[in-house]
């Protein structure tokens, strides 16, 4: 197998390569003066099983173009199979027509990835499970729940926690984690007036005196998460922290989290930490390198990926 890293998350790609004991493929990914992407592969990949690691996070369009051009270069270099390893799948939130004359951008991105040369997709905690059906190639969707379960059990071994879903749409995800931890579940009932703005309406479940853990797949502006944290505190929770797979954290999100009641926000490294995240007092990251490397090895060996979550 060959591992190729684009520029969006080099630390994660290097950690995965270390886990697999496979050196990163010698490639060049750079920009022309007008910012066009240029890719060059400096070693033979003919007949190889190639994995391209690239999160399509901010700058989303630049990172997506890097991935597409790398896929095209590998296809033209006669790689046997090309797997796009996308720890964070950008455009996943545009998975349906949300109004008249609006796009389904997740489907468009799926089409482009396949056309560029991807034979398989490996991603983590897709925002909407139906996106797997947008592809006519195999899609392996990994889950951060096992990582979160181990981390919560290690950090709160002597304290029973209560899992909280920050909205109704995330109940399935939160319930799965609550079942793994054999603990209770609460739900935040909220109304979203427009994109990026939410109003917490009610807390379904008794959180009084409980140590609450909010669970979500994406934190972007941080408004919904911080409002949910404040809601459970207002309902008498002892304390609250959060576990979120993808830390998009745009605008003033890091400051908003810092000013919130959240004791800690735990993210995965699916998106590389910015200096603001690294310097935040109540934000930390846990590594997905072992999970991704095991899944990549399973794909290369034609063994079960789903067994990783049993």
Residues with a known catalytic role: 190
Q: Binding site for Mg(2+), residues?
A: 127, 167
Which residues does the annotation place in the binding site?
A: 34-36, 93-94, 127, 167, 192, 216, 220-224
85: number of Cβ within 10 Å: 27
Joined together, the tokens standing for residue 91 give: 């455009």
| Two tokens, residue 258 | 């810092």
Residue 75 phi, psi dihedral angles, 5° rounding: -65, -45
* Peptide bond just before 242 cis, omega within 30 deg: no
Residues annotated in a binding site for ATP: 34-36, 93-94
């Amino acid at each position: 197998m060959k591992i190729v890293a684009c520029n969006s998350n080099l630390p994660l790609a290097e950690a995965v390569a270390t886990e697999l004991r496979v050196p990163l493929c010698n490639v060049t990914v750079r920009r022309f003066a007008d910012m066009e992407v240029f890719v060059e592969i400096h070693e033979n990949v003919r007949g190889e099983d190639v994995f391209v690691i690239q999160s399509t996070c901010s700058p989303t369009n630049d990172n997506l173009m890097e991935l597409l051009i790398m896929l095209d270069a590998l296809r033209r270099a006669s790689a046997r199979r090309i797997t796009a390893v996308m720890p964070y799948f950008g455009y996943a939130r545009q998975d349906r027509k949300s109004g008249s004359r609006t796009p389904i951008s997740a489907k468009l991105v799926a089409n482009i990835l396949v056309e560029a040369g991807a034979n398989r997709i490996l991603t983590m905690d897709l925002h909407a499970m139906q996106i797997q059906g947008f592809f006519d190639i195999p899609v392996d969707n990994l889950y951060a729940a096992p990582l979160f379960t181990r981390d919560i059990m290690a950090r709160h071994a002597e304290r029973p926690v209560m899992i909280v879903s920050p909205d109704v749409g995330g109940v399935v995800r939160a319930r799965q984690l609550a079942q793994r931890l054999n603990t209770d579940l609460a739900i935040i009932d909220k109304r979203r007036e427009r994109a990026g703005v939410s109003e917490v309406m009610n807390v379904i479940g008794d959180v009084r005196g409980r140590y609450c853990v909010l669970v979500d797949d994406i934190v972007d502006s941080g408004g919904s998460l911080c409002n949910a944290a404040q809601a459970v505190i207002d309902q008498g929770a002892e304390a609250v922290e959060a576990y979120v797979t993808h830390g998009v954290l745009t605008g003033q999100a890091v400051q908003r989290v810092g000013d919130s009641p959240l004791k800690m926000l735990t993210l995965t490294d699916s998106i590389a930490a910015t200096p603001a995240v690294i310097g935040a007092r109540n934000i930390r990251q846990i590594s997905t390198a072992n999970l991704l490397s095991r899944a990549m090895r399973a794909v290369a060996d034609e063994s079960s990926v789903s067994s990783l979550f049993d």
